[in-house]
Structure 1
Amino acid sequence: MQKPWLQNQIALTGFLGKTLGPDYEIALYDLTEASAVVVAIANGHVTQRTLGAPLPALLKQRLDEFRRQAEDTPADEWIQMADMTSTGKLLRTSSRVLANEAGRRVGLLTISFDDSRYRDLSERILRLRHPDSFVDSHFVSRPPTDAPPAGLASAGAPPVARQGLAADLLARAKAELAGEPRRLNHRERMAWVRALDAQGFFGAKGAVGLLAEELNCSVATVYRYLSSLHAGGPRRPSGLE
């Protein structure tokens, strides 16, 4: 049976892949079929997904939550989450539920961004200014080698929670704050970064990426916070100022 909405979305998938470039994977899922598999994909090398790949568990969980809500609100349904590739690269995935003219959910369009090239470039720039040992111990965060394939993390927690020590330290530090980290002003952010550094947070795997997501900023911005912090000398305070 022909699906009028599908051909336009397939064309859009290819267009977005060419426009955004090779660091962005665009995947289209058909929600009108029970299997809800990929029916169009651009730049599948980012996650190694191919046509016919199943809907990731985390996305399926969110869609199930939407289905339990009012059926007349699909236009407001979008999902943003962190994910990991099978090689441990951290991704930012944004998804939008597609609805037909009758308001029925028919598809899901996802865009997964791999910023590893830009983080590598940031690291190289840092190495122009600092000794390699200093960069390795204070700036560079490596993803875990046993990371699950993209979208296959347990549905009970986001994939970034698998980064262990960094996630635990960040959760404790966040619990001590009076408000949301992303609402902190610059001075408060610097104080929080200083406190995290004193606790050894940045020596843990995935620390910089986790903090960037929590502050709703880029990884490069976190690097700038750290660079500014250590430019003032070796002082390591014991807590927030």
Structure 2
Amino acid sequence: MDWKKRWTALAEFLGQALGSDYEIAVHDFTGEEPRLLALVNPQVSGRAQNAPPSNLALDFWRSRTFEGSDGRTGYRGISASGEALHCSTFFIKDDGDALLGMLCINFASGRYDAFARSVTAFLEEAGRLSPADPEAPVEFFSASVEQVFERAVGRLFGGSGRPARLTQAQKRVLVRLLDQEGVFRLKGSAAEVARLMGASPASVYRYLTETRRTQD
């Protein structure tokens, strides 16, 4: 296999392995005029298969930069659409150190840069937040009175589970817990609590009155 087929195959492999954000180009400098031998993922630079070598590739050739050097890495490129690229070039040479061609890898880092900026902004914003006070009260968001009621039941009985029938003492404690949550400021909440407790609305109002009287 001659060098052109070998390096074209390598370009195809690298294009598949690295992904669509990497353009792989192989230039042939053995003829009278340099030409593009292979171009994988051309959408990165916006070039066509018959495009000429880049200005830097031609400069490397004319200035004989390849002599005594295997390549150049980490220089900046600009695509046809103006997007910034990270570029590297490997000099393909024969046993006598004469230039045969160049393997160029151009990386479009745009979406990675955008992701890095968003992560940086997130970390900066997180750094401005004061740590939560472990002694401060916890805010709960509930979708219904029933959800608040079940949370109060959990506080009262813990992991033992709610009994089938609640005693009057337990009902009084639940009313006190629910009053602390502000449940009874909601319209219709007393009737809903009565239903959930298995008591009458009048009993709930009586427990609530007793609770508030003892707090005063």
TM-score when scaled to structure 2?
Answer: 0.52
Deviations 1:199-219, CA, capped at 9 Å, x for gaps: xxxxxxxxxxxxxxxxxxxxx
CA–CA separation in structure 1 for the residues paired with 2:8 and 2:38: 6
Please say if 1:6 is aligned against 2:4.
yes
TM-score, structure 1 normalization: 0.47
Mark the structure with the bigger radius of gyration: 2
Letter in 2 for 1:79: R
Aligned partner of 2:71 in structure 1 is: 78
**Which moved further from structure 2: 56-65 or 38-47?**
56-65
Matches within 5 A, 1:174-193: none
| Residue equivalent to 2:173 | none
Q: Please give the alpha-carbon distance, in whole angstroms, between the structure 1 residues aligned to 2:98 and 2:124.
A: 55
User: Is the 8 Å Cα contact of residues 24 and 46 (structure 1) preserved in structure 2?
Assistant: yes
Equivalence map 1:14-163=2 (5 Å): 14-66=12-64, 73=68, 76-80=69-73, 81-129=75-123
User: Relative contact order (alpha carbons < 8 A, sep ≥ 6): 1 or 2 greater?
Assistant: 1
Would you say the 8 A contact 1:66–1:77 is kept in 2?
no
Ranges in structure 2 where 5+ consecutive residues have no aligned partner = 126-216
The count of aligned residue pairs is: 124
**Partners of 2:44 and 2:20 in 1: CA distance:** 8
Q: Which moved more, 1:80-89 or 1:35-44?
A: 80-89
Deviation of the 1:35 alpha carbon: 2.4
Q: CA deviation at 1:36?
A: 1.1
Question: Are the counterparts in 1 of residues 47 and 80 from structure 2 also a CA contact under 8 Å?
Answer: no
List gaps (5 residues or longer) in structure 1: 132-241
Read off the aligned partner of 2:4 and give its amino acid letter: L
